[in-house]
Copies of this chain bind each other. A is one copy, B any other.
Amino acid sequence: MSMDTIITIGRQTGSGGREIGQKVAKTLGIPYYDKELLDLAAQKSGLSREFFETQDEKRVSSFLYSLVMDSPTPGFSNTMSGMPINHKSFLAQFETIKELAAKGGCVIIGRCADYALEENPHLLSIFIHADYDFRIKRIMEEASLSETKARELINKTDKSRGQYYNYYTGRKWGVAANYHVSLDSSRFGIDETVEFICSMAQIKSQRDEII
């Protein structure tokens, strides 16, 4: 049986969403896209990879910045020519996500992929969260930070991800009804969470085959 389920993972900072996504992709034998998306979107748009890195899941709110128009790129969607550069980078990722999903089952981390693919019948959209202490501990270990710095990083990154999601989707980041499944990784542990997601993806894939 081929796995055609497309799993998108939104995540609170420090909840282990990336590790969970990697393990799910490995278990199911499907591709995994996180920062890889930026390379593909950069190639597509003609904008630099570095530009995508600085913009990644951040909503640039400066009015002046949004007025930086980009010149038309040969071979790139005409509708994007002359568009503010931050919107252009969002739309390049949006198109890239749709193209990847059209190829078959995969795991995509963040970047409003659940919204980009909401009409896709193979979508299984996940949100991973965890209690604050678990996240602080994880970030302290992963990034070798003090507790204060880990706290600052979590608050800043979550705020930024939330603003980016809310701005581009018109929905509220982290509200349960926007995702098919939300899971507390600190309650179940990383490996158990991976197991749940794999089992749900397999059930969904079997159902899709019947339909």
Chain B residues closer than 8 Å to A95, beta-carbon distance: none
**Are the C-beta atoms of A183 and B184 separated by less than 8 Å?**
no
Query: Which residue of chain B has its CB nearest to the CB of A189?
Result: B207
Could you tell me the distance in whole angstroms from the C-beta of A123 to the nearest C-beta in chain B? Answer: 9
Chain B residues closer than 8 Å to A111, beta-carbon distance: none
Chain B residues closer than 8 Å to A124, beta-carbon distance: 187
Chain B residues closer than 8 Å to A12, beta-carbon distance: 177
Report which of B174, B180, B200 forms a contact with A177, defined as CB distance below 8 A: B174
**Are the C-beta atoms of B184 and A180 separated by less than 8 Å?**
yes
Query: What's the interface size class on A, roughly?
Result: 20 to 34
Contact with B along A105-140 (1 / 0, CB 8 A): 000000000000000000010010100000000000
Chain B residues closer than 8 Å to A184, beta-carbon distance: 177, 179-181
Report which of B182, B192, B196 forms a contact with A179, defined as CB distance below 8 A: B182
- Say yes or no for A176: interface residue by CB 8 A criterion: yes
- Say yes or no for A60: interface residue by CB 8 A criterion: no
Chain B residues closer than 8 Å to A51, beta-carbon distance: none
Contact with B along A167-195 (1 / 0, CB 8 A): 00000001111011111100110001000
Could you tell me the distance in whole angstroms from the C-beta of A161 to the nearest C-beta in chain B? Answer: 13
CA distance A184 to B123 in the complex (A): 13
Query: Which residue of chain B has its CB nearest to the CB of A192?
Result: B203
Query: Which residue of chain B has its CB nearest to the CB of A200?
Result: B196
Contact with B along A1-42 (1 / 0, CB 8 A): 000000000001000000000000000000000000000000
CA distance A180 to B183 in the complex (A): 6
CA distance A196 to B203 in the complex (A): 11
Report which of B176, B187, B188, B204 forms a contact with A127, defined as CB distance below 8 A: B176
Return the 6 tightest CB-CB contacts between A and B, nearest first.
Answer: A176-B182, A182-B182, A176-B176, A129-B177, A180-B184, A180-B187
